[in-house]
Amino acid sequence: MTILQFTPFSSAVDAAFWQTLAEKKLNEFQLSDQSRSLLGYYTPGHALLDTQGQSVAVAPRLCLPSQAFEKTSTIPANAFQVTGTITNTNTIQDFQKLDRQALFQEAASKLWNCIESGEAIKHPGLLCQFFVLTFADLKKYKFYYWFCFPAPIPQPSQWQLDKPMTPITSEMNSDQIQSLAKEYAKLRSSQGPDSAYFLIKKHTSGNIRVGSLDTWDDFFNRSDEPIVGFADPSGLASPGWPLRPLLALAHHSWGLNTLKVVCYRDPIETSQILVTSLPTDSLYQPKDSKQKDTLPKSVGWERNAQAKLGPRVADLGPLMDPLRLADTSVDLNLKLMRWRVVPDLDLEKIKHTKCLLLGAGTLGCHVARCLLGWGVRHITFVDNGRVSFSNPVRQPLYTFEDCLEGGAPKAEQAAKALKAIQPSIVSKGYSFTIPMPGHPLPAQQLRQDSQALLDLIESHDVVYLLTDSRESRWLPTMLAAKLNKIVINSALGFDTYLVMRHGGRNQAQDQDQEKIGTNLGCYFCNDIVAPTDSLTDRTLDQQCTVTRPGLAAIAGALAVELMVSLTQHKDGVNAPAGKNDVPCLLGIVPHQIRGFLGQFSNMLIVGQAYDRCTACSTKVIEHYDADPLGFLSNVVEDPLYLEQITGLCQMKAESDALLLDDDWTGLEDDF
């Protein structure tokens, strides 16, 4: 006697499914590793004939399509849906240490319960199930997985082959085969997945009848020879795996020890017939000592490429577009913050905040790098300088290369550098000089440059003031105030730094002047002199950084973190500071941070807006609105003009003391 063999499924996972898993992991499952249900499918097998007319092995495939996670997935017309579950672990160690035995028992008993309860007779689709264990290494796009197709087997003996598998044509003439096909087509259209198993009998007329399992009792007359059919995924010399649970059901529910089986294949002419019987000594449920039914023994773990019992691995890294890989990995790092620490962190808002960096020197480079780290996608530089030999060691977007032949234009080069770090970034550099009080220039030039600056500020959400002089911060401060944009301002001394945000312009109107911190000032609000030409007279040392190299990294990072916190604050640009502030989920959003490296300390300061400010006060902005170019040409010709219109003139005397405090004049590394 020969033992009946079954051809096991081999899992066939669509690459698109792994992609879907990766996305769900990032956006949906996150750190959860609970099981989720899947919909796979298989198609009836058929013998393939090779060029010599020999039939070649086609292993039965259990396929997972990209939509396997959805309730209903579109599958090939002739395919049969198979339900399963996926358990995706967080680490390779978790994957290795999974209690596979327990998971297997759970699945096996679930299947057996369907048989015992009779559920499987109503819904035969339940007889064929699977589960898969996975670990997705999203950094390398490697996917480790192990499929299992649990099926109960009898003990101690197995089903035997009374009549070897022969083509269906050996027992049915072509009319019968045609009517079988016709009948079964009907059943399929009515029963769907559950038509994977069905009953067959030859009518006295010779015609073929087909019925669903739950009609067993009425379907066969005593005279009939009961035949059971199943959609056989195998194209080989032995029937496919789905027959195993069917035999268990036939034995358990119908008490059969002998069964004629039609292995329905596609096309129907390739279908096979066999007769199998189970020795009477054999049982699915050996009685245990306490006379209690125990679970049948089950089998079903898939073997891997090495034909060993072990997981398989799908390495999609090589197939992936590296650019996409980079984006996914960066996303992942950021999302982890949300998953782990700050569930409500609005990463999208940060990602889409358009940042304008005025100055691509020491501070500009550090700010840009930190913005990259936060996943900001849109970074624009303005700088009129070229990369010089002293820059690269302090300005982390430039290299020695960039200094040759007179030096690359900083703004453009900085943008290039960002793309080299993160190719999907949107970055552009503009080389022009920001018009400055006390720096006269031709009307045409003034029109052009001030317009360029206005357009840039309008098209961005945040303006960073990172230039190397006080007066170059005036025009952007004024324009940003006019447009009520967020302004982040940083300046360096030798071992001191300033990082501040400018107050929103709508505050004065809609908030109580008395409340400290609700009406915040700008960089110029605590000046009592107009910004004026501070460049031409700078001595050698003032023309370049005389700052401790660590300062720019610290100030640049704080500037970005302050902005990020602000994006998460309900009041945004109008967020109050100090005692009136309500911290956002990332913490407080101070107005000014002044750091002292000599003491390794810093202090938080709140400065009020000043109604005579030469940059952000309504007076000034009104004059600008009245006649932008006329106003600006007055200012660049003579900064004192600002003091006249703001009424600062008479205070001029007091100014000197303040000017001396050049720790805050925002020297930049541009010697």
Within 296-335, which residues bind its own copies (CB under 8 A)?
Answer: 317, 322-323, 325-326, 328-330, 332-333
In the set 544, 584, 613, 616, the catalytic residue is: 544
Query: Which CB sits closer to its own copies, 479 or 562?
Result: 562
Q: How far is the CB of 92 from its own copies (least distance, A)?
A: 9
For 542-561, the DSSP string reads TTS--S-THHHHHHHHHHHH
For strand 2-3 and strand 312-315, is the pairing parallel, antiparallel, or unpaired? unpaired
Q: Rounded to whole angstroms, how far apart are CA atoms 147 and 11?
A: 7
Under 8 Å CB-to-CB from 608, ≥6 apart: which residues?
516, 519, 520, 521, 525
Q: Rounded to whole angstroms, how far apart are CA atoms 188 and 198?
A: 10
Q: Which stretch binds its own copies (CB under 8 A): 148-156, 233-241, 286-294, 553-561?
A: 553-561
DSSP summary character for residue 225? -
Selection from 224, 291, 234 nearest residue 263 by Cα: 234
Q: Which of 372, 382, 566, 632 binds its own copies (CB under 8 A)?
A: 372
Q: Rounded to whole angstroms, how far apart are CA atoms 298 and 286?
A: 13
Q: Which of 3, 336, 426, 582 binds its own copies (CB under 8 A)?
A: 336
Q: Is 70 in the site for its own copies (CB under 8 A)?
A: no
Query: Which CB sits closer to its own copies, 65 or 385?
Result: 385
Q: Which of 15, 319, 404, 659 binds its own copies (CB under 8 A)?
A: 404
Q: Annotate each residue in 109-148 with x if it binds its own copies (CB under 8 A) or - if it does not, as one string.
A: ------------------------------xx--------
Q: Is 180 in the site for its own copies (CB under 8 A)?
A: no
* # of chain residues touching its own copies (CB under 8 A): 87
Q: Is 466 in the site for its own copies (CB under 8 A)?
A: no
Q: Which stretch binds its own copies (CB under 8 A): 52-60, 251-259, 419-427, 502-510?
A: 419-427
- CA angle, residues 35, 38, 40, in degrees to nearest 5: 145
Q: Which stretch binds its own copies (CB under 8 A): 362-370, 475-483, 519-527, 634-642?
A: 362-370
Q: Annotate each residue in 74-93 with x if it binds its own copies (CB under 8 A) or - if it does not, as one string.
A: ----------------xx-x
Site residues for its own copies, 584-613, by CB under 8 A, read 586-588, 590, 593, 597-602, 604
Place of tokens 């590793």: 33
Dihedral angle over CA of 216, 218, 219, 225, nearest 10:
90
For strand 227-231 and strand 258-264, is the pairing parallel, antiparallel, or unpaired? parallel
Q: How far is the CB of 466 from its own copies (least distance, A)?
A: 15
Q: Which of 288, 536, 626, 653 binds its own copies (CB under 8 A)?
A: 536
Token digits of residue 141:
């796009």
Q: Is 545 in the site for its own copies (CB under 8 A)?
A: yes
Q: How far is the CB of 65 from its own copies (least distance, A)?
A: 26
Query: Which CB sits closer to its own copies, 203 or 340?
Result: 340
544 noted as active-site residue: yes
Q: Is 58 in the site for its own copies (CB under 8 A)?
A: no
Selection from 94, 164, 132, 186 nearest residue 9 by Cα: 132
Please name the helix (run of DSSP H) or strand (run of DSSP E) that holds residue 591, with its range, or none.
none
Please name the helix (run of DSSP H) or strand (run of DSSP E) that holds residue 119, with its range, or none.
helix 119-122
Query: Which CB sits closer to its own copies, 77 or 540?
Result: 540
Q: Is 569 in the site for its own copies (CB under 8 A)?
A: no
CA distance to 511, 555, 578, 603, 622, per residue, from 517 (Å):
10, 22, 6, 15, 25
Q: Is 340 in the site for its own copies (CB under 8 A)?
A: yes
Q: Which stretch binds its own copies (CB under 8 A): 64-72, 236-244, 448-456, 536-544?
A: 536-544
Selection from 227, 229, 226 nearest residue 188 by Cα: 229
Give catalytic residue positions. Answer: 544
